[in-house]
Structure 1
Amino acid sequence: MHIILVPGLWLDASSWVDVAPALEAAGHRTHALTMPGVGASGTQSAGIGIADWVAATVAQIDRLDGPVVLVGHSGGGNVVYGAVDARPDRVAHVVFLDTFPPADGGSISEFPVVDGVIPFPGWDFFDDSEIADLDPQTRADAATRTKSVPEKVPTDPIRLTDERRRAVPATVVTATVPAAQMRAIIAAAPPWAAELAALEHLDIIELGSPGDPTGHWPQFSRPGAVAEAVLQAIG
C-alpha cells in the first residue's frame, strides 16, 4: 500500500524519517511530503494557501497507482481531509495523528506573522501537555529542522464538497486527548467536531497512558509507536 505522510505546520518530509522505516519494513511504500512554500520568504509564499497544500497532496495521489493511505499530523489533518474530499474513491484509509477532520470552512489556527510568514514560535509557545514527552535534546534537534510556513495557510478556510469523504475509513491516533474523552466529544458532537462525529467508520488509537503521557509531536518522541499505530489502523 502507498502511504502518503503529510506533516503539520513548520515541518517538512524529514519529520517522518524515523516513522517511515517501520512502515516500509511492513511492506508498504511511503511518500513523505513537504508542502508548498515551507521555508520560503514572504514574497515567495504570499499566494500560497491551504488549497495549495491540498492540491499538492492530491497531485501525489494522482501520481500513484491503486488505493492510498493518507496520514496527517496536526494541521496536516486539514490537508489530508481536503485530499480525501477531492479523491474519496482513491483513499483506502485516512489517519489523523493528534488531530481531527475539520468542517467545511474550518481552519487550523492563528499564529504570529513575521515578515509575511509564520515562523516556528518555539516550544514555550505550546501547552506543557503538548511537549511533555520531548526531552531537551529532542526539542533542540527538532527545532533546528523547523521552517516557516506561508502566512495564509493556518487561517485559510478549507472547502469540502463531496460527502463521500465521510465513508472513507478513518482512524484518530490521539496523543494528547484520552480516547475516552475523544469518544465523549464524538457523542456530544459540538459544532467544531461535527465532521468527526459524522465519519461513518472511525477507530481511535491512544498512544499515551496515565503516568506515561505522549505529547503532540510523537513522531519525534515515539516514532516506533506512531508507526505501530498506523499499521494497526490500516490492518
Structure 2
Amino acid sequence: MTTTQSTDPLHIVLVPGFWLGGWAWGDVVPHLQADGLTPHAVTLPGLDDVATDRSGITHDDHVRAVLDAVAPLEGDVVLVGHSGAGAVVHEVVDRDPARIRRVVYVDSGPLVDGASLRPGLPEETVELPLPTWEELAAEGSSIEGIDDAGLARFRARAVPHPAGVATGTVHLTDPARLGVPVTVICTSLPSEMLRQMATPGPPFHTELASLQATYVDLPTGHWPMFSKPAELAREIATAARADIRPPLEKA
C-alpha cells in the first residue's frame, strides 16, 4: 500500500512590517516559488501609496486585511510576519487558529493581550514616517547587509505607517492560538538572547514563551528580505514544511 503527499498548494502569506508594502518581498517570492510554495505578498491598508489618507486606519483593519487574504486560499496556510506585523498575524491566528498551519516571525514576535506596538503616541499623530537610518539603528533596527542601491529603493518606496495601527491594542481570546506551531527567525538579535527576553513583561511583552516555538538564527539586520532574501526564503520554506511527513514506503 502506498500513500502520497497532498498536491494542494502550501500557501505562504507574507505580511511586511512598518513602512512596507507587498513589494518588500519581491526578492523573496521567486525563491519560494522555485521551492514549490505559493507565496502571497500582502499590502496592508494605508501602505499602498504615500498619498493615502491614513487618519482612520486601525490595527483591526490590518488584522481584517490578513484574514481576508487567507479566506479564499484552499490548502494549508503559513503566515509570515515581519517586525510590527507580528502583532497582526498573531491576532489573525487567535481569530481562526484551525486555519493556520504555522506562523513564522521574522525578527518579530507575538504581543500579549492588551499590548500595543507604540503606546503613548500623541493623539493627534496620524502617521509615522520612515526615520533616518541613524534613528532606526538607535532603536535597534539595523540596516546591516543592505547595499546602497537597496537602501535607496527602500527609502523611495517606503510609506508612512498609520499611527492608529501602531497604537492599536491587541485583543486575544482563543487559547487554541497557543497550539499553533511557531518559527522565529532571529536576524538582528541572537536566538539565545531572545529566548531570555521572551517574557510577557518588558521589553517585548510577548507570548513567545507560551508557544511551540522553534528558533532559527539568520544573522543580518532587521530587514532580511533586502539583505539576505535567498537565505530568508530558505528558512521560511524549511519552517513551512517542518511538520509535513514524507510519503510512506511501499509495504
Question: Could you state the TM-score of these two structures normalised by the residue count of structure 2?
Answer: 0.84
1:175 matched to 2:184? The reply is no
Contact 1:123–1:139 (CA under 8 A) maintained in structure 2: no
Once residues 13 and 97 of structure 2 are traced to their aligned partners in structure 1, the CA distance between those partners, rounded to angstroms, is: 15
- Name which one, 1 or 2, has greater alpha-carbon Rg: 2
Contact 1:7–1:15 (CA under 8 A) maintained in structure 2: yes
1:203 matched to 2:175? The reply is no
Contact 2:144–2:227 (CA under 8 A) maintained in structure 1: no
Contact 2:104–2:182 (CA under 8 A) maintained in structure 1: yes
C-alpha displacement at 1:116, in angstroms?
A: 2.7
C-alpha displacement at 1:100, in angstroms?
A: 0.9
1:27 matched to 2:30? The reply is no
1:121 aligns to what?
131
Secondary structure at 1:54 match in 2:
helix
Aligned length: 226
Q: Which ranges in structure 2 are unaligned for 5 or more consecutive residues?
A: 1-9, 242-251
Question: Could you state the TM-score of these two structures normalised by the residue count of structure 1?
Answer: 0.89
Contact 1:6–1:33 (CA under 8 A) maintained in structure 2: yes
1:150 aligns to what?
162
The two structures, once aligned, show a CA RMSD in angstroms of 2.0
1:230 aligns to what?
236
1:68 matched to 2:74? The reply is no
Name the CA shift for 1:194/1:120 in 2 (closer, same or farther; >3 Å).
closer
Once residues 174 and 191 of structure 2 are traced to their aligned partners in structure 1, the CA distance between those partners, rounded to angstroms, is: 28
Contact 1:37–1:149 (CA under 8 A) maintained in structure 2: yes
Once residues 107 and 40 of structure 1 are traced to their aligned partners in structure 2, the CA distance between those partners, rounded to angstroms, is: 24
Secondary structure at 1:227 match in 2:
helix
2:145 aligns to what?
133
Percent identity over the alignment?
38
Once residues 191 and 229 of structure 2 are traced to their aligned partners in structure 1, the CA distance between those partners, rounded to angstroms, is: 19
C-alpha displacement at 1:113, in angstroms?
A: 9.4
Once residues 97 and 124 of structure 1 are traced to their aligned partners in structure 2, the CA distance between those partners, rounded to angstroms, is: 22
Once residues 154 and 183 of structure 2 are traced to their aligned partners in structure 1, the CA distance between those partners, rounded to angstroms, is: 26
Once residues 109 and 134 of structure 1 are traced to their aligned partners in structure 2, the CA distance between those partners, rounded to angstroms, is: 26
Contact 2:102–2:180 (CA under 8 A) maintained in structure 1: yes
